[in-house]
């Protein structure tokens, strides 16, 4: 693979390829909200000094609410959860042991992270709709429900029609 930031070509060493592959394997796909404004511009819009904004941003960064770089500020999933901003939907398909369906359904209905839960026909028993920011917590709770055989989560990449 040959790539560089100026549009030219440059070969990756085996170690670089290994590192990029490792980073990809360890990465987590997230829904990112990015601000492309200077801190001066943000401070001016908010009616505060650049120094005051900088103090707030540093505290946000230390708390894991934002990531910053040259010319951008990303709000993290943690910030979106605090603001109760819905990210994207995830569909969780759940299979349950037939003889344990009644009890399992009762327990799954109690899990607050699910926005909607449907009993369906076909290869799975339940389809739950969960906000992506709550998906991990939902899956941990569902996995503890007696009778659950398997789960399969699918995060929405793009809405094709509303």
CATH of the domain at 130: 3.30.70.920
Domain stops at, among 82, 104, 134: 82
Q: Which two tokens stand for residue 71?
A: 């010319």
Which domain covers residue 134, as residue numbers? 89-155
Count: domains in the chain: 2
Is residue 96 domain-shared with residue 146, that is, in the same domain? yes
Establish if 5 belongs to a structural domain. no
pLDDT of residue 1: 42
Is residue 104 domain-shared with residue 78, that is, in the same domain? no
Helices (H) and strands (E) in the chain, counts: 6, 7
Q: Is the pLDDT of residue 47 over 90?
A: yes
Q: Is the pLDDT of residue 13 over 50?
A: yes
Q: What is the mean pLDDT of residues 88-92?
A: 91
Q: Which two tokens stand for residue 106?
A: 């009762």
Is residue 115 domain-shared with residue 130, that is, in the same domain? yes
Contact 75, 63 (CB under 8 A): no
Q: 64 vs 143, which has greater pLDDT? A: 143
pLDDT of residue 107: 97
Q: Is the pLDDT of residue 3 over 60?
A: no
| Beta strands 89-96; 114-119: pairing state | unpaired
In terms of DSSP H, where are the helices of 3-131?
Answer: 14-26, 39-46, 50-62, 77-82, 101-109
Is residue 109 domain-shared with residue 130, that is, in the same domain? yes
Is residue 113 domain-shared with residue 68, that is, in the same domain? no
Q: Which two tokens stand for residue 147?
A: 């009778």
Is residue 20 domain-shared with residue 66, that is, in the same domain? yes
């Amino acid at each position: 693979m040959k790539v560089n930031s100026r549009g030219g070509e440059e070969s990756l060493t085996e170690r670089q390829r290994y590192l990029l592959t490792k980073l990809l394997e360890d990465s987590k796909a997230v829904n990112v909200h990015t601000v492309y404004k200077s801190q001066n511009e943000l401070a001016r819009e908010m009616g505060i000094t650049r120094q005051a904004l900088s103090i707030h941003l540093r505290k946000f960064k230390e708390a894991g609410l934002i990531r910053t770089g040259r010319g951008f500020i990303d709000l993290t999933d943690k910030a979106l959860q605090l603001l109760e901003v819905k990210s994207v939907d995830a569909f969780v398909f759940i299979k349950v042991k037939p003889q344990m369906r009644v009890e399992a359904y009762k327990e799954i209905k109690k899990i607050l992270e699910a926005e909607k839960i449907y009993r369906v026909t076909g290869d799975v028993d339940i389809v739950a709709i969960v906000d992506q920011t709550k998906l991990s917590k939902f899956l941990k709770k569902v996995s503890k429900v007696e009778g659950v055989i398997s789960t399969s989560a699918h995060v929405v990449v793009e809405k094709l029609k509303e």
